[in-house]
A and B are shown apart, each in its own frame.
Chain A
Amino acid sequence: MSKECTLYALSTCIHCRRMKVFLEDHDVEFDNVFVDKLRGDERKETIDLIKNYNPKLSFPTLVVKEGACIVVGFHKDQIEEALDL
């Protein structure tokens, strides 16, 4: 069973960091991807993937259950609703 969600983030972004802590505090299982640390093909492929979910290509972008729900920006209410917290 793949993880509940994937957090596309930037290692330098404070809101991504606060969202990551929020997810951890709520015991959410998620993959964390620091897109700014990626290089080459992996970076290109990841960016193309994110564009499908969030055309603005902004961060943080939380993809829940393979795209059933997307949260762009650290919106606690949206996260709570998307993950029934």
Chain B
Amino acid sequence: MSNTMTAEKLYEMLKKIQEPRGFYFNKNMDITMPLLESLLINKEEYGYMACPCRLPNGDFDADRDIICPCEYRDPDLEEFGVCYCGLYVTEEYNKLEDPGEVAIPERRPPEKILG
């Protein structure tokens, strides 16, 4: 029974795994749900959930660092309280009244993009 994965199902599934570890989804569903949909699009397109806000190389090994949750999530949450694409946040970040647009500097070295 291949039930197609939806953004809502992915949300529930990941929430159960990630929240106990201290990784929360951005409470702004206008950011979280489109990002989860994009992860499913990238899974379909590339075979893995490449970060929706980075240019994938289309090769698993070359994109290992940006497969969600990416390698840069922890340092980004520590420094900014939000990951680069805005999907994962800290508990404190979700308490902010209006965190404004997510626009944090890119931690991934550009050489990783093969062109």
Contact = CB atoms under 8 A, between A and B. Distances in A.
* A and B found bound together: yes
Size category, A interface: 20 to 34
A47 B52 contact: no
B79 interface: no
Interface residues of B, number: 23
Chain A binding surface SS class: helix
A36 B55 contact: yes
B56 A36 contact: yes
B85 A13 contact: yes
Interface stretch (B3-11, B13-21, B98-106): B98-106
Interface of A: 10, 12-18, 35-36, 43-44, 47-48, 51, 55-59, 73-76
The 10 closest A-B pairs by CB, nearest first: A73-B103, A58-B106, A12-B38, A12-B52, A13-B53, A57-B110, A14-B34, A47-B115, A74-B101, A56-B106
10 contacts: A12-B38, A13-B53, A14-B86, A15-B53, A35-B55, A36-B56, A44-B115, A47-B55, A47-B113, A74-B103
